[in-house]
Structure formats: C-alpha cells, structure tokens
Amino acid sequence: MTGPRKLYIKTYGCQMNVYDSERMAEAMGGQGYVQTDRPDDADMILLNTCHIREKAAEKVYSELGRYKGLKAAKPDLRIGVAGCVAQAEGEEIMRRQPMVDLVVGPQSYHRLPEMEARAGNGAKVLDTDFPEEDKFERLKGRSKAKRGPTAFLTVQEGCDKFCAFCVVPYTRGAEVSRPADRVMAEARDLVERGVREITLLGQNVNAYHGHDRGLAGLIRQLATIDGLERIRFTTSHPNDMDDDLIAAHGDCEKLMPYLHLPVQAGSDRILKRMNRQHTAESYLRVIERLRAARPDLHLSGDFIVGFPEETEEDFRATLDLIEAVEYGSAFSFKYSERPGTPAAERPQVPEDEKDDRLQRLQALLTRQQRALQDAMVGREVGVLFEKPGRQPGQMGGKSEYLHAVHVEAEGLQPGDLRKVRITDSGPNSLAGTLV
C-alpha cells in the first residue's frame, strides 16, 4: 500500500512568502500531499522565491541545479518555482532549466493543484497572470490542525509606490486589500487552533483599505477576538501612517509597541531619486508623533547604501537620521541593480565605497540595538513563549518589543504568556526569570 505523496517547500525572503508557502502546502494537501523537510524524500519540490535580495534569480538557478540528480533518479518528481522570481523570469526559468515542470506567480498559486495535475500528464505549465479572481477565496479553508502561538496573516498585497529600486509593483501587482470580514474569519480560525499573536502582512500594509477605517479599524476589530493577545503589522510606508493608526499605537492594548517603518535613506536628494515621496524631516515628524502616542515604542527600519549617485554627504545624512531615531533593530543592504527598474540605468557607486558605507552604517545600528537591548535589564516584559530553548528546562519566546527572551523554568508550554524580569542581555537575546 502506497503512502501519501510528499511535498518539499523551500521558502526565500519575506514573511509574506512564509504565509504563501503555508497556503500552497494547504492547497496541495487537498491533492493528497503531506509536507517533508527532505527534498530527497519528496514527490514534489517547490521553491517559493523572492526577488528583493541581490542575485536572487541566480540563487534559484543554483538551487535547482542541486536537484538534477534527484530528477534523474526519480523521473516522476515534480519541480516547481513560485513567487516573485517566477513572476519576473517565468519563461527564462523554463528555458534555462528544462527539468522545471511548473512556474507559478504569487497571484496565481491558488491554481497550483490543477497545474500539478497538468504537469503530471507531461505538460510544462506556466502561470504568471494577475487573475481577476480572489486567490484567497479560491483557496480551500485552512487546515484545522493545531498551530503554534504565532502566525502571519496576509491582508494586503502589491504596491503602487514605484520606488526606483523595487520590483514589487511588477511582481506582486497593484495594491489590493482583503475584505475585513474575510480577514476576521481567518483570524478567528487561527485563534481557535492555538494562535495568540497575529502579524498582519502586506507589501504596504498600512495602505490597507479593506475596512472603512483602514488598518487602524481592522486592528481594533481584531482586538475584540477573545484569545488573541497580540497584534503586529509589517511592512509600512511612512506616507500611509495616518492619524488613526498612530493613535492606535497608544490606545489599542493588543497592538504591540514595535514598528517596522522603512526610510531607506536620510538624504532628501537620494529619497527623491528613489521616488520615496517623503523627506527625512517628514519621516522624523511621523516618528515623533508615534512616540508621543507610545513613548516606549521600539522602531525597526530598512536602509539601502550606495544607491546610484549617492555621495559621502548623502550617506552622512543617513547616519544623522539614524542617530536621531535610535533604532531597536534594522535591515541594511548594499544597493544592487534590478533589471527593469529606473535606478538600474543610473551611474552606480563603486563596490568598495558601498562596502565601506555598509560597514559604518551597520556598526552604528549595532551600537544602537545593543544599547536599547541592554537598557531592558531590570525591566519586566511580557513574553509569549514559543518553543524550548537549547538547554534542558529552558523556554524561549518574544517580548512585546520583539526581543528574543529565554528563561530557565519548568512547566512552561508554547503559548504561555507570562511576565518576565530581564536579568541579562546577550548579543542577540535577553535572559530573565518569571515574575
């Protein structure tokens, strides 16, 4: 008697891809697939790709090359590429890697089961459309299996901002928001299965318009769900941080005091060249208003160094902005060209200058992150415990500020939300004792 077919998914990039991979696994579960963490054990391999990082496409081709031997040994093995690289380079993937059976874009993965069936009949299947139907409505209901205490929930996709360095508007399409009633239904289902913290996802999540009061209205409605203890959201644009959403950081107890608000640069000249549509000063005023609403708010940001035509003076303006904000964490990268975007056609900064600036910027961010983390020692925080630590009797979780925290205590279970007094600050985590 043969067992169920096995699906191996490798996920690259952002939290939205994590969510998409979960939904693709659920869709294929309806076709008799169960997940495996071993590609050599799989009947289907699916790479869910991201196009944001440098040389993203080449990394996908390299990964596919590792599976040539598996495909040769198991001709019935199905290999698929999904996500943003699939959207951007679907036909090229098929041309360069003939062993790939199907390519599906991020707006079409609800069609994955029928694509797999066609591939099973020997067809090569490519679907990178932007279909009119709502993929979330076309997907079957989520599995009723028990979940961990945290979950991602996509509420908005696409972006209309067209930053000069970004491919998202081309790979994910225009901004689309899910209706609030459907988000609420999925959130309630997650809570019924053990989830206590939900992170709302979107390429530009604070542009959400599926509720008549925007993202703040959705957050306040979600806060009425019994058993849902924590709400977060990412990623936001400074221009869409409206008055109601700022106020929610002060008056909605379940909205956590942590916000990822990318600025990318501190030079107005570079921000204009990036088509960011805000200035350094307008960004700082948003931060001021947020901290007035929630004084203990921890901020995270994104920074690109070495953007085309960036001078040392421009870069120093970015360092000045970082000094003014004091970030709890941040993501920083050297600029890399994305074919088809405006910035790719402009004069580039030499690589050695990019390297030097990135090291200086990351050193400043690391100092800030460590100072804010060290300042937590002696404070009491709420920790949502998620999984056992590396040592026996140790349990790890996240504080409301998204710090990793571990304690030595018997009897704790994933999903427990407890007060912890912080006793020590390590390089990347905090230690504490139960209060």
The DSSP element (H or E) to which 373 belongs, if any, is: helix 351-374
Q: Rounded to whole angstroms, how far apart are CA atoms 245 and 243?
A: 6
Closest by CA position to 17, among listed 87, 70, 69 = 87
Distance CA 98, CA 421 (A): 56
Instruction: Report the DSSP pairing between strands 125-127 and 404-408.
Output: unpaired
The reply to whether 252 sits in an annotated binding site is: no
**Rounded Cα–Cα distance for residues 166 and 301 (Å):** 16
Do the beta carbons of residue 396 and residue 406 sit within 8 Å?
yes
Q: Is the peptide bond before 150 cis (omega within 30 degrees of 0)?
A: no
For 325, list phi and psi in degrees, rounded to 5.
-85, -45
Dihedrals φ, ψ of 265, to 5°? Answer: -160, 160
Distance in angstroms (rounded) separating the CA atoms of residues 178 and 157: 9
Is 14 labelled a binding residue? yes
Instruction: Cite the annotated binding site for [4Fe-4S] cluster by residue number.
Output: 14, 50, 84, 159, 163, 166
Instruction: Cite the annotated binding site by residue number.
Output: 14, 50, 84, 159, 163, 166
